[in-house]
Chains A and B, each alone.
Chain A
Amino acid sequence: MRALERMLFTRVVATPAAIDRAVWPTGALVLRIAQDEVLAAGTVDLGAVPDQHAIVEPETAFCGAWVDHKSGIQFLEHACDWELPAERPAFAQGAVAGIPVKVWFEAERILFLVPVPFVIDFAERWS
């Protein structure tokens, strides 16, 4: 796979309703990682989230790599037990080769997001 590179996200924790109503940067990759939590590529203004108690923090603890769809699926079929989503685009997260990974599926490519503390192990297990 291509080398995993550190990616800049903004992490937002807010009420689910506020997350539903938040205005995210146009075209940005926005991953709903929990009902009350979002990982959005790039920078997000605090004001974009209508929750005065929202926690909005830059998040640099993920490395990512885009891979072509076929190789990504081939790897996932051998590296994780859970069922891969059929629709596109789609987001999934879970253990991949024993590492907690977030996966964004597009029609032509797949993004693997790996927490920085596990990047070395993930790269070893991919190869």
Chain B
Amino acid sequence: MANGSLLTHLLRGEKYPAGGGCLCLAGDCPHCLATVDGIAYVRTCQTPYHEGVSVEPHPESGRLPPPVSLGDRAPVPARSIHCDVVVIGQGPAGRGAADEARDAGQHVVTLESRLGQDAIGIYPGPLVVARTNSGMWHLYPREGIVVATGASEIQPVVPGNDLRGLVTARAAAELTSTGIDLGRVIAVGTPPADVVATTVAGELVRFEPRSGDPRRVGAVVMRDAKGQEQRHECDTVSLGLGLTPRDALLRMARGTNIRGVGDVLLAPDLPPCPSTGVVCPCAGVTVDDLRSVHGRGFRELDLVKRATLAGTGPCQGAVCVPHIRSFLGAQGSDPPASFTARPVTRQLTLGEAAAGAHHAATPRTALDSQHRALGAQMERLGGWWRPWHYGDVDAEYTAVRNGASICDVSTLGKMQISGPDAVALLEHLYPVPIASLAPGRSRYVLLLDERGYVVDDGMVSRDSETRFTLTFTSGGARFAEAWVRDWAESLDCDVRIMNQTMSLGAINVTGPRARDLLALAGVDSPPAFLHHAVATVAGVSARIFRLSFTGEMSFELHHAADDSTDLWQRLLDLGAGLGVRPHGLEALMKLRLEMGHIIVGQDTDFDSTPRRLNHEWAVRLDKPSFVGRAAVVRTNKVSLDRQLCMLEAEGEAPAEGATIWAGDDYAGYVTSSGWSPALGRSVMLGWLRVQPGINAGSAGLPTMVTIDGRPAHRVTTRSFDPEGLRARA
């Protein structure tokens, strides 16, 4: 590829992509980096030349260019390739390994940097990620990985190593073979193959600039065996200073079926300890810098890297590591191994790094387009797109409290359980009796974990002797399914479980006139409170669950998701005379807060027990066994330290999360808050610490508190509909 590389094209025209430094033509050094077609830090020696290519040299000093120029670029495609073997490097050793694998009938994928295929990392899996001219490849080898990346040539660290006209021995041979005239060539170390050069012996001292062109080498100075400096004039210096294996990929893939072949397995040559000059051209680290950090205690290779940033630049240590190893070795210990190898070995654009990655999609209910058509402000809540409001929160609230309203609750977790062991399983899962729940009845339930903490809540409804419908919170549905399935399997229960969260839509019809709306929809005898029944609602087959989260009479209509839009629109049409309008979650938050209903995840903490939540009524300790029972019994013997309480305050609602003070003492924080139109004041839920003493009411919880500098008081019985008569109407 060197024949057609961008670098050789530039050199033929006497142009340099960068300021200077020893060119390797092998992708190892940072000396041919340039901004190519708008992308900075491109290795021009590994980039094919094409007509019209734009090359902008990097500044020789000062601020480096940003990695990518501004402007829209097409996404970088990613391709997944499953194969038996990946061979990285297609030199003689790599070709041999690939042929061998093919002969054994294996599906082989080869990567070769000079063909624009750069392996940039090996991840657990194993997964080999490669940047190619056609996008990113994600390679999944079933059998193994062969690394045949060869060895890189050691670069010189002496004064003047940033001049132009310095090339490695291999690069000298390659440039000559492409017809580039190198002029008078002085060879230091191993001479280049097939290049007319004068080989000089001795210790490399420095490179001197050419008179009249201070950026180009004019001579190389060597020290002979007698200690005398010898100056050799030249146009080009070829440097054969030894080899160091390109083994970063080999070292980063521990634990996978990986092997190296060829020069990658060479023991690294160790250059003489550098005495002066730039060690790391990427970060501008000098030998003096190494001495400085070593003197301050940074005496291990990785520490030197962190302290100086040597090895963190575009070449990832290819230039500096041999010299730092040599430096540290000369300080009295064995030369250390190389840096810890981690992906990525080559710089990537953000587009390349992001290729093939997708953000988690947020699901939409079947009514999503209806909400948007109604002008709803949509938010991601509970893992779904949901309407926060439809433009008039007060009107939405009022429709629920004074008339009838509908709300899309399709996001609730919905599950059917059937089987001879269904009762036994649910008895074990829930802290309330299940066997006594009659078919057609529903019950509110908490879900506890083994430590007695509340992890979700919902409803359990009995459909027949052996079949139940469970509901969970929107955000907790995924966990709940795993939880139910795990326990069913652990207990070896003979049950069938069907998660219908996405299959079923659910619309809540709520408000004092909800029954009137159902009557208009053809349901004359809706189920009583905490009952459920199957019915046809406005022509749609539905199961009606009578419950309440708003505090009003409520009927949750579960139906096939493809009927959602019809049912929604018919309810709005039929209810036009009743003033029916939909309400969003903002109104729902106010409604449930007036009732003191908690939202698991918002009002609960990771260690919320039923007692801390004031939900002991939802746990029946006379049940002999259920998940979390032992923990609840044990923690009930410990003094209560805090409790979720209802609070009220005059004036505007404080922010959720606001600190609650009892006098000068921290007392807790607000978990939910909102203005209550029904009460004309703010209502809140919040955690209060038990603080026996002044101002402490029952259970040692403060009665009067301060939030945002304003007084608030704890209420033991909610002010709105304390008997819950409206829900049961």
Binding site for B on A (CB under 8 A): 6, 11, 13-15, 36-37, 51, 53-55, 57-61, 77-78, 80-84, 95, 97-99, 115-118, 120-122, 125
What's the Cα separation between A11 and B503 when bound, in Å?
10
What's the Cα separation between A98 and B420 when bound, in Å?
38
> What are 15 A-B contacts defined by CB distance under 8 Å?
A11-B503, A13-B496, A13-B497, A14-B496, A51-B496, A53-B494, A53-B495, A58-B560, A60-B560, A61-B502, A83-B140, A97-B358, A98-B359, A118-B363, A120-B364
Q: How large is the interface on B (under 10, 10 to 19, 20 to 34, 35 or more residues)?
A: 35 or more
What's the Cα separation between A15 and B420 when bound, in Å?
12
- B562 and A6: CB pair below 8 A? yes
Given contacts A6-B562, A121-B361, contact A55 B78 (CB under 8 A): no
The 3 closest A-B pairs by CB, nearest first: A98-B358, A117-B363, A60-B562
- B80 and A115: CB pair below 8 A? no
Binding site for A on B (CB under 8 A): 77-82, 138, 140, 356-366, 368, 384, 416, 418-420, 466-467, 494-498, 500, 502-503, 560-562
Partner of A117, one of B81, B138, B357, B364: B364
Given contacts A83-B82, A115-B502, A116-B366, contact A53 B419 (CB under 8 A): yes
- B562 and A77: CB pair below 8 A? no
What's the Cα separation between A84 and B497 when bound, in Å?
29
- B418 and A54: CB pair below 8 A? yes
Question: Chain B's nearest CB lies how many Å from the CB of A50?
Answer: 13
Question: Chain A's nearest CB lies how many Å from the CB of B552?
Answer: 28
What's the Cα separation between A11 and B561 when bound, in Å?
14
What's the Cα separation between A72 and B476 when bound, in Å?
34
- B366 and A54: CB pair below 8 A? no
Residues on B with C-beta less than 8 A from A60 are: 503, 560-562
Chain A residue nearest to B361 in the complex (CB)? A121
Residues on A with C-beta less than 8 A from B497 are: 13
Residues on A with C-beta less than 8 A from B359 are: 98
Chain A residue nearest to B359 in the complex (CB)? A98
**Most chain A CB inside 10 Å of its own CB: which residue of B138, B140, B362, B561:** B561
Question: Chain A's nearest CB lies how many Å from the CB of B494?
Answer: 8
Residues on A with C-beta less than 8 A from B77 are: 78
Question: Chain A's nearest CB lies how many Å from the CB of B155?
Answer: 38
Partner of A115, one of B363, B368, B494, B495: B363
Partner of A11, one of B358, B364, B495, B498: B498
What's the Cα separation between A125 and B467 when bound, in Å?
40
What's the Cα separation between A83 and B83 when bound, in Å?
9
What's the Cα separation between A98 and B561 when bound, in Å?
23
Residues on B with C-beta less than 8 A from A125 are: 358
- B79 and A78: CB pair below 8 A? yes
Question: Chain A's nearest CB lies how many Å from the CB of B481?
Answer: 12
Chain A residue nearest to B420 in the complex (CB)? A53
- B498 and A55: CB pair below 8 A? yes
Question: Chain B's nearest CB lies how many Å from the CB of A92?
Answer: 13
Question: Chain A's nearest CB lies how many Å from the CB of B375?
Answer: 19
Residues on B with C-beta less than 8 A from A99 are: 358, 361
Chain B residue nearest to A115 in the complex (CB)? B502
Residues on A with C-beta less than 8 A from B560 are: 58, 60
- A80 and B80: CB pair below 8 A? yes
What's the Cα separation between A74 and B241 when bound, in Å?
48
Residues on B with C-beta less than 8 A from A51 are: 496
What's the Cα separation between A61 and B140 when bound, in Å?
33
What's the Cα separation between A125 and B561 when bound, in Å?
23
Question: Chain B's nearest CB lies how many Å from the CB of A61?
Answer: 4
What's the Cα separation between A82 and B496 when bound, in Å?
29
**Most chain B CB inside 10 Å of its own CB: which residue of A6, A11, A116, A117:** A117
What's the Cα separation between A96 and B470 when bound, in Å?
30
Residues on B with C-beta less than 8 A from A55 are: 416, 418, 467, 496, 498
Residues on B with C-beta less than 8 A from A98 are: 357-361
Partner of A116, one of B361, B384, B498, B561: B561
Question: Chain B's nearest CB lies how many Å from the CB of A108?
Answer: 23
Partner of B503, one of A6, A36, A61: A61
- B138 and A57: CB pair below 8 A? no
Residues on B with C-beta less than 8 A from A83 are: 82, 140
Residues on B with C-beta less than 8 A from A120 are: 364, 368
Partner of B140, one of A6, A58, A81, A117: A81
- A81 and B80: CB pair below 8 A? yes
Can you name 7 extra interface pairs (CB under 8 A) apart from A15-B496, A78-B356, A120-B364? Answer: A13-B498, A53-B466, A55-B418, A57-B416, A61-B561, A84-B82, A99-B361
Given contacts A55-B416, A77-B79, A78-B78, contact A116 B502 (CB under 8 A): yes
Question: Chain A's nearest CB lies how many Å from the CB of B120?
Answer: 17
Chain A residue nearest to B127 in the complex (CB)? A81
Residues on B with C-beta less than 8 A from A84 are: 82
Residues on A with C-beta less than 8 A from B503 are: 11, 57, 59-61
Chain B residue nearest to A96 in the complex (CB)? B358
- B418 and A81: CB pair below 8 A? no
Partner of B418, one of A53, A78, A95, A121: A53
Question: Chain A's nearest CB lies how many Å from the CB of B267?
Answer: 37
Question: Chain A's nearest CB lies how many Å from the CB of B502?
Answer: 5
Residues on B with C-beta less than 8 A from A82 are: 80
Question: Chain A's nearest CB lies how many Å from the CB of B499?
Answer: 9
What's the Cα separation between A80 and B357 when bound, in Å?
10
What's the Cα separation between A81 and B78 when bound, in Å?
10
**Most chain B CB inside 10 Å of its own CB: which residue of A58, A60, A122:** A60
Residues on B with C-beta less than 8 A from A117 are: 363-366, 384, 502
Chain A residue nearest to B410 in the complex (CB)? A117
